[in-house]
Amino acid sequence: MTGIPGNPQVLRVVLLGIDGAGKTTVARTLMRELAAQSVETELYRNPGGRRTLNRWASRYSATAESLLGVRVLDALETMLRVLAVLRSTFRARRRRGVVVFDRHLSCQLALRKVRGLSAGRLIPWLLKLLPQPDLVVYLSVEPRVAHARIASRATDEETLEFLSALDAAYRSLPGFDTFAVLDGNGSAQSTAHALFSLIERRLSRTAFPTS
């Protein structure tokens, strides 16, 4: 099967990690570092809507999973995630420089593992069809650290057991051994700097345009 060709002028970076790993904060910090080096950048977020659905369910003193059921919840999240990834992927084809995807389809595969669901056909098919990322980075963080971060931001709730199971699910994904694993237990600045170094080495091999 032939996949959709990517833009050769774009370095595609995918950020993965459990809730509380600091993906969005690190991505935004990285954007500032790249911009300071006059590298054209763009950040795309690809949420699955789980936090929004849980906020809705909290009005009824429940969780989205308990109200909707595992399969319905997964179907809704998958639809939202796929639409977000497709939109960001095709928008990235018009960009130059470094494009960072905050979350991707693999996030839904990890959630499915935690929930005891199969990978299905759609997401694995799309992962083969869409342009392959040049770099997939997993922000590795201790579940207790992630749990404390989630509690401090007070916008959502996760159990320590869920975070531990999600971390294990990510690490069991096919191709995880090809991911770059970065320590996410420290500050966003230090993690972003380590990620910047990885990207800088990739950029040094390619003549990407600067702004």
pLDDT tens figures, 5-41: 666 788 999 999 999 999 999 999 999 999 998 889 9
Distance between CA 119 and CA 131 in Å, rounded?
Answer: 20
Q: What is the model's pTM?
A: 0.91
- E strand intervals along 84-209: 97-102, 135-140, 180-183
207 in a known ligand binding site: no
Q: What is the pLDDT of residue 6?
A: 64
Distance between CA 83 and CA 81 in Å, rounded?
Answer: 5
Q: What is the pLDDT of residue 206?
A: 60
Angle CA 209–210–211, to nearest 5: 125
Question: First vs last Cα of the chain: how many Å apart?
Answer: 36
20 in a known ligand binding site: yes
Distance between CA 51 and CA 105 in Å, rounded?
Answer: 16
Q: What is the pLDDT of residue 208?
A: 52
Q: In this structure, is residue 2 part of a structural domain?
A: no
Q: How many domains does the chain have?
A: 1
Q: What is the pLDDT of residue 60?
A: 81
Q: In this structure, is residue 4 part of a structural domain?
A: no
CATH number at residue 40: 3.40.50.300
183 in a known ligand binding site: no
Angle between helix 70-92 and 122-129 (nearest 10) = 10
Q: In this structure, is residue 129 part of a structural domain?
A: yes
128 in a known ligand binding site: no
Distance between CA 137 and CA 23 in Å, rounded?
Answer: 10
Distance between CA 100 and CA 160 in Å, rounded?
Answer: 28
Name the residue range of residue 129's domain: 10-203
Q: What residues in the chain have per-residue pLDDT under 70?
A: 1-7, 205-211
21 in a known ligand binding site: yes
Contacts of 148 (CB under 8 A, 6+ apart): 20
Q: In this structure, is residue 40 part of a structural domain?
A: yes
